[in-house]
Amino acid sequence: MWRVLFKAQKVQQLKSLNLRQLAAKATAPKLLQLEQIHIEEAVKMEPALAIYTPEIWRRAHETFQNHGLETMSFLRIVTGNPNILKRTPDRIINTLEIWRACQFGETLLHLLLTKYPELLDVTDAHQLLTLSSYLKSRLSTNKNVWKVLMNSPDLMAQPENLIEEKLNYMFDIMRIEVPEIVKSSALSLPFEDLRCRHIFLVRLGLFKPRPLKADPDEPTTNHRLYQITDTSEKSFATKICRVTLPEYEAFKELLARELERKSRKTEAQDEFSDED
C-alpha cells in the first residue's frame, strides 16, 4: 500500500517539485497565522478534511509550528495526509522526534516531510533507525540518506535484503558511485527491472562498466543512472536505447526465461554436487 501511495504522490509532484523551488516556496511567504481562508482552500483540495473542527485545526497547526514547520508546509502536509489531524499532539510530536533522530538537519527534514506527508505515519522508531543507519553505512553520509529518501521514499517499506541486493548490483556490477545513486530513484525500481534495463544496455553495447582502475574524474559515455531508471518503459526503449518498444518487450521476455533457465541449471548442478 505504501508503494502505491508514494507512486501516485511522486507522479503528482515530480514535475513541479524541483528541490530549490520548493525550498524557495517554503521560505518565501512567512505565514505564521492559520486563517479561515486557508482551511477552506485546503478542504477544497482535499474534501476529507471537511470533518474536522476549527479547534482541531488550530491545535495541529500549533503543534507543527512549535516544531518549526510553517503554515504553508503544514497545509501541504495536511492536504497530503488528512489523517494527521486525527492524532493527538503527543503522537505527532513523537513521530517528529523519531524522524529527528535520523539527523538530517531541521530544514532538510521539513522538506522531506512536506514532500511526502505519508512519512509521518511512521511509528516504529527502531525500524526507522535501523534503516537509516543501514543506508548511512552504504551511502556514507546522512545527507545522502536524505537524498535517497527524497527520490525513493518507498525504501521505508522495502525489506533490507532487497535494498542490499539492488545496492550490491549497482556498486559491484554496474560500478556506479554513490553520488549518482542518490540522484536517481533506482532504489524504488524492482531489482528485476533494474537488472533487465542494465543488461539490455550492455547487450546493445551502450553501457560499459568503468574499469576498476579508471580515473574517477574521467567522464563516462554511459547514460546516467537517473536516465536509465527514472523513465517509463517506452521512453527508456526509444529515447535511451534508441530501439523500438516491441524489441525491448521481446527482450524482457527472453531475458526472464534465460535467467530462469540459468538459475535452474545452477540449482541442478548444486544438487548434483551435493549427492556426490
Partner 1 sequence: MLKIRNICLLQRRWKSGKRRWNVLQHKRNNCDRALETFDYFYGSVYGGRWKNMRAALLTEHKYVAMVNNFGDTEQTCSMLELDGAINIKSLIRLAIEREEIGIESNILHNRHAHYDIDDKLESLLRKQQEREVAAIYPTAAEDGHEPPKQLSYDRKNSDIDTKGQKDSEKESSSLEFTQSLTKALEQDVQVDESRIVDPQFGTGGLYEYVPADSIKGMQDWVAESEHYKYYQTSTDFPLIIEPEAIFQYPEHLAIYTYEMGNCAEFKPPRQCLTGVLSHFLMDGASVLPPLFLQVQPGERVLDACAAPGGKSLLMLQTLHLDQLVCNDVQESRLNKLRRVMQEYLFDYKQRWASKRLIFSQSDARNLDEYNSYDKILVDVPCTTDRHVLLHQDNNIFKPTRIKERLRIPELQAGILANCLRLLKPGGSLVYSTCSLSPVQNDGVIHMALQKVFNEYGITARIKDLSQHTALFSDIYRFEQPKGLKYGQMVLPYLPANFGPMYFSKITRNT
In whole angstroms, give the CA distance from residue 63 to residue 65.
5
Residues that contact partner 1, how many (by CB under 8 A): 21
Closest CA to 10 of 276, 272, 188, 251: 188
Q: Considering only residues 189-208, where is the footprint of partner 1 by CB under 8 A?
A: 200, 203-206
In the complex with partner 1, the residue whose CB is nearer, 15 or 213, is: 213
Cα-trace Rg, the chain: 22
Q: How far is CA 64 from the centre of its chain?
A: 24
Q: Does residue 258 touch partner 1 according to CB under 8 A?
A: yes
In the complex with partner 1, the residue whose CB is nearer, 17 or 206, is: 206
In the complex with partner 1, the residue whose CB is nearer, 157 or 256, is: 256
Q: At closest approach, how far in Å is the CB of 31 from partner 1?
A: 54
In the complex with partner 1, the residue whose CB is nearer, 26 or 206, is: 206
In whole angstroms, give the CA distance from residue 160 to residue 169.
14
The alpha helices in the chain, defined as continuous H runs, are 2-16, 19-27, 36-45, 54-66, 71-80, 89-100, 106-115, 125-139, 142-151, 160-168, 178-182, 191-204, 225-229, 233-235, 245-275
Q: Which of 213, 216, 217, 276 binds partner 1 (CB under 8 A)?
A: 213
Q: Considering only residues 238-257, where is the footprint of partner 1 by CB under 8 A?
A: 242-243, 246-251, 253-255, 257
Q: At closest approach, how far in Å is the CB of 250 from partner 1?
A: 4
Positions in the binding site for partner 1 (CB under 8 A): 200, 203-206, 211-213, 242-243, 246-251, 253-255, 257-258
